[in-house]
Amino acid sequence: MNTKILENEFEYSKPGSLEEVLETLATKQNVRIFAGGTDLIVKLKLGALPDMEHMLDINGVEELGKIETRADGLEIFAGAKLWSIESDRRVEENYPALREAIQAMASISVRNMATLGGNFCNASPVADAVGPVMCYGGKVRMQSKRGAREVNAVDFFLAPGVSVLEKGELLTSVYLPAPKAHTGHAFVKMGRVKSDIAKISITAVLEREGDRIASCRLAMGSVAARPLFLKAIGEGLAGKAMTEALAQETAQNISDFIKPIGDNRTTAEYRTDVAKVIARDALVSAWKNSGGTL
Ligand SMILES: Cc1cc2nc3c(=O)[nH]c(=O)nc-3n(C[C@H](O)[C@H](O)[C@H](O)COP(=O)(O)OP(=O)(O)OC[C@H]3O[C@@H](n4cnc5c(N)ncnc54)[C@H](O)[C@@H]3O)c2cc1C
């Protein structure tokens, strides 16, 4: 295979308005959005998208490149590049787990092109930036000629490569609600080398009330067929006093709960064992980042 060649023939367009993007999605057949292309072009080169007839580049739509403050949070639009998200002061201050996850992804040159929307729409179980968005209670906003809708980030993924995104729909933005006071955050990723695709990752975001956990949200990458939100385990921590023993017990519960598979990056056993270590570390770090002591 010559990976310098894109074997399919397809049309290409780069509209200047959201209206034109939605019109193209509604009228053309077998359209694929090009946001940063860092997943899309790889798939094209591998011949994985033989049906694609139209590549729709959204980088001509100025409003899609923005990151905007809302009264109750932050809205990151679909064309905003990962580097602009990781270098945004509002993200650094309020959503540090998202910043750390992005900084653990690929190289600067890839992050100069890639988008958060692309990380979601590619719907890989490994996607690094997804866990933090889930743990911050993020929402995914979508639009088509039929109208706009929003789903919780935790409900966006259905199967490997499959999301709730319907034909003709564009992911327009990812919305992050403002975190409460005394929120602590942690993102931990294990890869073969720095910035590699994760063997396993975990995000923890918790709210502290004195020496107790008021609420906790946990998500993992690379341990299931889609990014995994650990709803019951996180909710089970609410109201509990934080201790080293609680962190270890929760980490053991997580390791017992997940059912990872082995693949070309690592084994199921590695993932099950390491889950225990990184879950404990993430919980302790998030607690300390919230101002708590142990
Ligand atoms: C060398 C390299 C290293 C990488 N390392 C990592 C890593 O460490 N961690 C990680 O998580 N990922 C990694 N990736 C994967 C990739 O960079 C990310 O998933 C990135 O966020 C994809 O964003 P993009 O804008 O390039 O998506 P694109 O390639 O443009 O799109 C991806 C898919 O989503 C669809 N799509 C994109 N935007 C929209 C939208 N707004 N609405 C509807 N559909 C849309 C596209 O049609 C396509 O099917 C790596 C990739 C490369 C090439």
> What is the pLDDT averaged over residues 14-42?
98
Give residue 4's pLDDT.
66
CA 208–ligand 1 middle distance (angstroms):
34
Residues with CB under 6 A from ligand 1: 32-40, 42, 78, 105-106, 110, 113-115, 117-119, 121-122, 126-128, 165, 170-171, 195, 197
Strands 147-152 and 139-144, bridge-based pairing? antiparallel
Q: Quick check: is 150 in a domain?
A: yes
- Predicted pLDDT of residue 3: 63
Say if residue 69 is in the same domain as residue 153.
yes
pTM over 0.95: yes
Question: What's the pLDDT score for residue 255?
Answer: 98
Q: How far apart are the first and last CA of the chain?
A: 55
How many other CB atoms are found less than 10 A from the CB of residue 121? Answer: 25
Residue 133 and residue 69 share a domain:
yes
6 located within any domain: no
Partners of 220 in beta bridges:
202, 228
Number of C-beta neighbours around residue 252 at 10 A = 14
Which CATH number belongs to the domain containing residue 125 in this structure? 3.30.465.10
Q: Can you give the pLDDT at residue 5?
A: 75
Among the listed residues 64, 60, 63, the one whose alpha carbon sits nearest the alpha carbon of residue 15: 60
- Structural domain of residue 21, as residue ranges? 11-57
Judge whether 276 and 254 are in contact, CB under 8 Å: yes
Q: What is the DSSP letter of 153?
A: G
Chosen domain end from 177, 195, 220: 177
User: pLDDT by residue (tens digit) across 110-159?
Assistant: 999 999 999 999 999 999 999 999 999 999 999 999 999 999 999 999 99
What is the distance in A from the centroid of ligand 1 to the CA of 39? 4
Do 112 and 216 share a domain, yes or no?
Answer: no
Stronger pLDDT, 31 or 8, i.e. the higher one: 31
Q: In what order do the strands lie in the sheet with 67-70?
A: 67-70, 73-77, 170-177, 139-144, 147-152
Under the banding of pLDDT at 50, 70 and 90, the label for residue 176 is: very high
Number of other CB atoms surrounding residue 60 within 10 Å:
15
**Domain boundary residue, one of 177, 202, 234:** 177
3-state secondary structure of 193: coil
Q: Is the confidence at residue 197, as pLDDT, over 60?
A: yes
Same domain, 264 and 243: yes
pLDDT tens, residue by residue, 248-287: 999 999 999 999 999 999 999 999 999 999 999 999 999 9
Report the distance separating Cα 80 and Cα 15, nearest Å. Answer: 16
Q: Provide the mean pLDDT of the chain.
A: 96
Hey, what are 107's tokens?
């190289």
> Residues 226-242: what's their mean pLDDT?
98
pLDDT of residue 2: 62
Where does a domain end: 145, 177, 209?
177
Q: Is residue 3 part of a domain?
A: no
